[in-house]
Amino acid sequence: MSTVLKTPEVQAATTYDVQKVREDFPILRQMVHGKPLVYLDNAATTQKPQAVINALVDYYQHDNSNVHRGVHLLSERATEAYEKARVSVQKFLNAADHREIIFVRGTTEAINLVAQTYGRKNVGEGDEIVITAMEHHSNIVPWQMLCEEKRSVLRVAPINDSGELLMDDFAKLLGPKTKIVAVPHLSNALGTINPIREIVRLAHAQNIPVLVDGAQAAPRMAVDVQELDCDFYAISGHKLYGPTGIGVLYGKTKLLEAMPPYQGGGDMIASVTFEKTLYNRLPYKFEAGTPDIAGVIALGAAVEYLEYLGLAKIEQHEHDLLAYATEKVSAIPGVKLIGTAKNKAGVLSFVMDGVHPHDIGTILDHEGIAIRTGHHCAQPVMQRFGIPATARASFGLYNTKEEIDVLIAGIKKVSEVMG
């Protein structure tokens, strides 16, 4: 295994060697339609390093057992590994306390949890929830469901033609009726990085809590929830080079303590009688039932892997890739970028004159290039730009400039074939 963890000091002294990093990802060594795989669909999901795959296999091979229950050795080992992963995630997000890390299925479940607990308790008739015009559906629909139930109102902060949040308009939406603000850190359809610190400052000035959808940001930049001062932060393991089916809701202790539980069942209780149930302490109050133990342990391995590579280096590497790709793609006649924010990362969405994005995706697939085409679960973003869909290349820590050259050649081929 080439992922023996070095100390951060040792790692800091070395440069980012993308070819060496690629060796950690066995899936990348394959041909697709006879061509080397060029995987540029990282915003949908990322590939897994050997360390994550090993963590999954090792758990099932040696330690499989339920957590927080048994007195036997396997259960003790599983519990220890599960709770160790919680501390790894705590460090990864720089949360103040490991009890602020709640394991959920992913970003979608994290947001639903907040909507159904914090939201149902605190949002009433006529109250308002503020989101932005660049949301993934998972940061729209849970709030709409809450608004429908509570007769409250969803307010949407607009964006400009570059895909940047209009901060003055956002600020104007905040008021005494606003009960929560929910924003993406990084837009999956546009690549825009939002000024979270400023958004939080504006909201907190009016005592409004802020949920940050960190699905796309956490794999691409160092996230410090204490520095951001956000109240909730949601992430998905599978976008973080970890397994599918596992994610995290970070929440500030004070808010989590005051929230009712999300689901009822085993592990989330302190005691049960038919007359009354007392709920468990944090974080278990929000982790009903047997959790995805293997997923949690492997997510721990994923965040340790990211820290071993160094988030600052990953960010710089992807920044260089995006700059290189942006310059090359925008020079191709008939291609238009969707999402040209000054502060951007990871995502290159584009449309081509006279070519449906689906056809772009199909032709590129035959060149071995995996991109996503469609609305990216962000239909209102497509509506904002007056388009049905985009083609989207999204970068990950293992992508190379040579792969971008293959993408450029592929897009030129699309022009030839379709043009």
Chain positions contacting ligand 7TS, by CB under 6 A = 43-44, 106-108, 136, 138, 184, 188, 213, 215-216, 236, 372, 376-377
Residue 153, judged by CB atoms within 10 A of its CB (0-12, 13-18, 19+), counts as: middle
**Whole-angstrom distance, CA of residue 136 vs CA of residue 215:** 10
- The verdict on whether 147 is a catalytic residue reads no
Minimum Å gap between C-beta 44 and ligand 7TS is 4
Q: Which helix (H) or strand (E) holds 232?
A: strand 232-236
Closer to ligand 7TS by Cβ: residue 92 or 308: 92
Closer to ligand 7TS by Cβ: residue 188 or 415: 188
Closer to ligand 7TS by Cβ: residue 3 or 139: 139
Burial state string for 58-96 with b = 16 or more CB within 10 A and e = fewer than 16: bbeeebebbbbeeeeeebebbbebbbebbebbbebbebe
- DSSP-assigned beta bridge partners for residue 38: 369
The phi, psi pair for 28, rounded to 5°, reads -70, -20
Closer to ligand 7TS by Cβ: residue 78 or 199: 199
Minimum Å gap between C-beta 214 and ligand 7TS is 8
**Whole-angstrom distance, CA of residue 336 vs CA of residue 164:** 17
Closer to ligand 7TS by Cβ: residue 107 or 116: 107
Minimum Å gap between C-beta 376 and ligand 7TS is 5
Helix (H, G, I), strand (E, B) or coil at 217: coil
Minimum Å gap between C-beta 133 and ligand 7TS is 13
Q: 38 and 370 in contact (C-beta within 8 Å)? A: yes
**Whole-angstrom distance, CA of residue 284 vs CA of residue 339:** 40
DSSP type of residue 238: G
Closer to ligand 7TS by Cβ: residue 216 or 415: 216
What the block records as the tokens of 205 is: 């000035």
Minimum Å gap between C-beta 94 and ligand 7TS is 21
Minimum Å gap between C-beta 372 and ligand 7TS is 6
List all residues 6 or more positions away from 325 whose beta carbon is below 8 Å from its beta carbon: 348, 393, 395, 404, 407, 408
Closer to ligand 7TS by Cβ: residue 53 or 193: 193
Q: 313 and 395 in contact (C-beta within 8 Å)? A: no
| Count of other CB atoms within 10 angstroms of residue 236 | 29
- Annotated catalytic residue: which of 145, 377, 387, 418? 377
Minimum Å gap between C-beta 191 and ligand 7TS is 11
Closest residue to ligand 7TS, based on beta-carbon distance:
188
Helix (H, G, I), strand (E, B) or coil at 297: helix
Active site residues: 377
